[in-house]
Structure 1
Amino acid sequence: MTRENRGRAVELLTVRQVLDELGGISRRTFYRWRELRIAPACIRLPNGELRVRRDVLNDWLEDRAERAAS
């Protein structure tokens, strides 16, 4: 699913797609991360479903990347 955002396409991922991208973590783990406020920011649609913007997920992953020791 994509959506235009200021002239560029923004990919909105389902929770299932996010779980798969994170190596198949469980839905329960993802929702626990949300409770702890450590999951990537989500968008709640009017029907109650969640979506995660691709750029938000990528930034979230980058923030958690371990840096090589200097």
Structure 2
Amino acid sequence: MDRLPLRTAWGRGAMAVTSPRTTQKLTVDEVCAELQVARSTFYDWRQKGRAPRCIRLPNGALRIRRSDFENWLTDCEAHS
């Protein structure tokens, strides 16, 4: 198993070690492409509370943390 390089992030005077994969933010288009679904399907899931957790940016765009997306996929597998 390949290990991703770790980087150090500074915040509020404390040092934290984070993985680039866990801090990666995906666009709605990237999530839809990975799931092979239409944007309208994603927004339908979101309206019904079935989509992965999203972050709304100040400009109104949505982002999905890679870790939230992976957890959501795992939950979907568990419910099948």
TM-score bracket for this pair, using the shorter chain length: 0.7 to 0.9
Aligned residues: 63
> Unaligned stretches of 5+ in structure 2?
1-8
Moved over 3 A (4+): 4-7
Measured against aligned partners, the alpha-carbon deviations of 1:33-54 in whole angstroms (never above 9, x if no partner) come to 0110000000000000000000
Point out the structure with the larger helix share: 2
Residue 7 (structure 1) aligns with? 17
The structure with the larger Rg is 2
Greater relative contact order (Cα < 8 A, sep 6+): 1
1: CA distance between counterparts of 2:17 and 2:58?
24
1:66 CA displacement? 4.8
Instruction: Determine which of 48, 54, 58 is the counterpart of 2:66.
Output: 54
Q: Provide the alpha-carbon RMSD of the alignment.
A: 1.9
TM-score (norm 2): 0.71
Instruction: Determine which of 8, 17, 32 is the counterpart of 1:19.
Output: 32
